[in-house]
Chain A
């Protein structure tokens, strides 16, 4: 069972993400509502990928990914941004920082797993969730 680290500060969205990823994605979900503990959590759990909200209460998602990419233990973990803003320049910034891609909010829960798999397929030795 793939392990996912979902970083999202909104508790309602956390519930939706956890439900979709566990039931449809057949994943084990580790949740964080803040950016600060993400690197430690990633080191500890070594998730198959990280879903990372762009706007967090303590730091921005872009800062979090920079920290992840700076740490040898976490730099290879694929990161997918979750963004509630559909600004192309933001998406470009996310990609330039090493993100695999981004998913725009609000997302369609039944389409989330295929969308994640499509992004994960870009990585060598790609994993597939929900199978």
Chain B
């Protein structure tokens, strides 16, 4: 059942870490713009982190197979330079103002996992004579760093939701079981003979051990989880 979770806000803004990383990459390459785009399980492209854009990009967009540079880059797992193919419509407005007519170029870097392309990173603009082939591995490493961090953020978010939800789902039925046993043992419905009473107490003790296990494995382990 869907319930409204009132999950405590993490003390650390994990998204900020990803944005800071993108800013560092941009700064390392001495460029104005860096964007990290991640493809989710449904094929939707999400702009996970960006820096240097004059306006906020769309949160996500669907990439269409065709001649767009992002599609080509991810399809072929090859590093591309702006001008080789047209920008996807969603990127035109974002990067046009930063591009300049004097031959500056952006680099579109595929971000690859072990078995598939996970997304892309756009860095630039660079001077038109900048030889991207020499630094291709460095570009790919920068993209991989973003991908690793994005995966960690996803994992962190998942555990932040999963642990409280599991805690709730386990404790709720236990409340009814322990509550019923507690009322019987407490004599709310009359006195029970010794054997029945000891059986119920055993079941009640089992509930308490389960609650203790939930505390140990879910709640305390969550506290020990390393923060990004």
Q: A86 to B219, alpha carbons, bound, how many Å?
A: 7
Q: A105 to B164, alpha carbons, bound, how many Å?
A: 13
Q: Among the interface residues B6, B171, B207, which one has the most CB atoms of the partner chain A within 10 A? A: B6
Shortest Cβ distance from B228 into chain A, in angstroms?
A: 18
Q: A108 to B179, alpha carbons, bound, how many Å?
A: 6
Shortest Cβ distance from A14 into chain B, in angstroms?
A: 9
Q: Among the interface residues B3, B167, B186, B215, which one has the most CB atoms of the partner chain A within 10 A? A: B3
Q: A108 to B183, alpha carbons, bound, how many Å?
A: 9
Does B133 reach chain A (CB closer than 8 Å)? no
- Contact A55-B3, Cβ < 8 Å, known A16-B176, A93-B8, A106-B175: yes
Which residues in B have some Cβ–Cβ distance to A below 8 Å? 1-6, 8, 164, 167-168, 171-180, 182-183, 185-186, 188, 207, 211, 215, 219
Q: A23 to B164, alpha carbons, bound, how many Å?
A: 32
Q: A10 to B177, alpha carbons, bound, how many Å?
A: 12
Shortest Cβ distance from B214 into chain A, in angstroms?
A: 9
Task: Give 10 A-B contacts (CB < 8 Å), ordered by A residue.
Answer: A10-B172, A35-B4, A55-B4, A55-B6, A57-B2, A57-B3, A105-B175, A106-B174, A106-B178, A109-B186
Instruction: Indicate if the CB atoms of A84 and B167 lie closer than 8 Å.
Output: yes
Which residues in A have some Cβ–Cβ distance to B below 8 Å? 9-10, 12-13, 15-17, 19-20, 23-24, 35, 54-63, 84-87, 89-90, 93, 105-110
Instruction: Indicate if the CB atoms of A10 and B8 lie closer than 8 Å.
Output: no
Instruction: Indicate if the CB atoms of B176 and A10 lie closer than 8 Å.
Output: yes
Instruction: Indicate if the CB atoms of B4 and A63 lie closer than 8 Å.
Output: yes
Instruction: Indicate if the CB atoms of B4 and A60 lie closer than 8 Å.
Output: yes
- Contact A86-B4, Cβ < 8 Å, known A12-B176, A105-B171: no
Q: A16 to B184, alpha carbons, bound, how many Å?
A: 11
Q: A90 to B8, alpha carbons, bound, how many Å?
A: 6
Instruction: Indicate if the CB atoms of B175 and A107 lie closer than 8 Å.
Output: yes
Shortest Cβ distance from B224 into chain A, in angstroms?
A: 14
Instruction: Indicate if the CB atoms of A84 and B172 lie closer than 8 Å.
Output: yes
Shortest Cβ distance from A58 into chain B, in angstroms?
A: 7
Shortest Cβ distance from B151 into chain A, in angstroms?
A: 26
Instruction: Indicate if the CB atoms of A19 and B188 lie closer than 8 Å.
Output: yes
Of all chain B residues, the one with the shortest Cβ separation from A82 is B175
Of all chain B residues, the one with the shortest Cβ separation from A19 is B183
Instruction: Indicate if the CB atoms of B183 and A20 lie closer than 8 Å.
Output: yes
- Contact A105-B188, Cβ < 8 Å, known A56-B4, A57-B3, A59-B4: no
Of all chain B residues, the one with the shortest Cβ separation from A63 is B4
Shortest Cβ distance from A39 into chain B, in angstroms?
A: 16
Shortest Cβ distance from A18 into chain B, in angstroms?
A: 11
Q: Among the interface residues A62, A85, A108, which one has the most CB atoms of the partner chain B within 10 A? A: A85
